[in-house]
Amino acid sequence: MRVLDNYEVLKEYIENCKKQNKTIGFAPTMGALHEGHISLYQAARPENDIVISSIFVNPTQFNNQEDFEKYPNTIVQDIEKLTQSGLVDALYLPKEKDLYPNGTKSNHYELGEIETLMEGKFRPGHFQGVATVVEVLFSQVQPDNAYFGEKDYQQVAVIRKLVELKSLSIAIHSVPTMREENGLAMSSRNLRLSEKGKKDAVLIYETLNEIRHWSKTMSVSEIENRVKEIFSKHPDFELEYFVIADDKTLRTATEILPNLSYRAFLVAHLEGVRLIDNMKIA
């Protein structure tokens, strides 16, 4: 696996790939890699001649400076994990100046309604930061295919919108959420949980599973009340939001109609760590 530690080295590598007409699959990450990331490379490997990953903790997508500063940095272990996987041909490790030569500011994108919902509502500016860094990475890596995890389901929708806005000829692939044995969604932030926290955090997955069953017989408002009740009995958790939304538009659902697809989204804080998960329910 090649480690490309600045844009000039990446540029030469990409030019070489393009000369040989090789297809490129790309999975950008913020590091602290886990099996969820590995599943992105597993999806990319059979579909591309070259698989590239990147690690960059993007400052413009954090609306909480403390969250940015506490984000895990495990670069040595990450390189080892990628090498051992045998799935990745090159790892791009850009410096801030490679991606933000004019300073760390977000561009502005007309993302529309999607930016005002759920994560967009609770983390203002977050998706502008995501779109900014992803557009730069796409322009530098020039992938044919890009891979993202469904744990950040709304983010995938934002990236599809970005591709549409900029008329990019890149296919966006979403990969199902990988989970720990107890059902906890794999996340780099889980590294900040204690062993007890990792066990307690399964409440989120268990609640989503319950919602899937409840959605067959209960109204949305009844489900919302049940979820609030569950988290009120677990004072270690702070429920940030729970939403049932249309699977395609991500608009909040007020009722569950037949022949439409819905997904439940749940965000809660535990031990000072923000945990996010979602599940298709109907």
pLDDT at 90: 99
Per the annotation, binding residues are 30-37, 61, 149-152, 155, 186-189
CA distance 111 to 125: 11
Whole-number mean pLDDT of the chain?
Answer: 98
Domains, the chain, ordered by start: 2-175 (3.40.50.620), 188-276 (3.30.1300.10)
- Block residue for tokens 């997955």: 205
**Residue 255 φ/ψ region, left for φ over 0, alpha for ψ in the -120 to 50 degree band, beta for the rest:** beta
pLDDT at 106: 97
Active site residue 269: no
Residues in the chain: 282
DSSP state of 177: P
The answer for residues whose C-beta is within 8 angstroms of residue 87's C-beta and 6 or more apart is: 38, 41, 42, 44, 45, 51
* CA angle 195–196–201, rounded 5-degree value: 100
Per the annotation, binding residues for ATP are 30-37, 149-152, 186-189
Catalytic one of 37, 126, 213, 234: 37
User: Which pLDDT tens digit goes with each residue over 43-64?
Assistant: 999 999 999 999 999 999 998 8
Per the annotation, binding residues for beta-alanine are 61
pLDDT at 94: 99
Give 255's pLDDT tier (boundaries 50, 70, 90).
Answer: very high
Query: How does DSSP assign 104-145, residue by residue?
Result: S-------GGGGGSTHHHHSTTHHHHHHHHHHHHHHHH--SE
User: Which pLDDT tens digit goes with each residue over 133-160?
Assistant: 999 999 999 999 999 999 999 999 999 9
pLDDT average, residue stretch 234-245: 98
- Block residue for tokens 């677990």: 234
The distance from CA 237 to its chain's CA centroid, rounded to whole angstroms, is 22
pLDDT at 161: 98
User: Which pLDDT tens digit goes with each residue over 211-232?
Assistant: 999 999 999 999 999 999 999 9
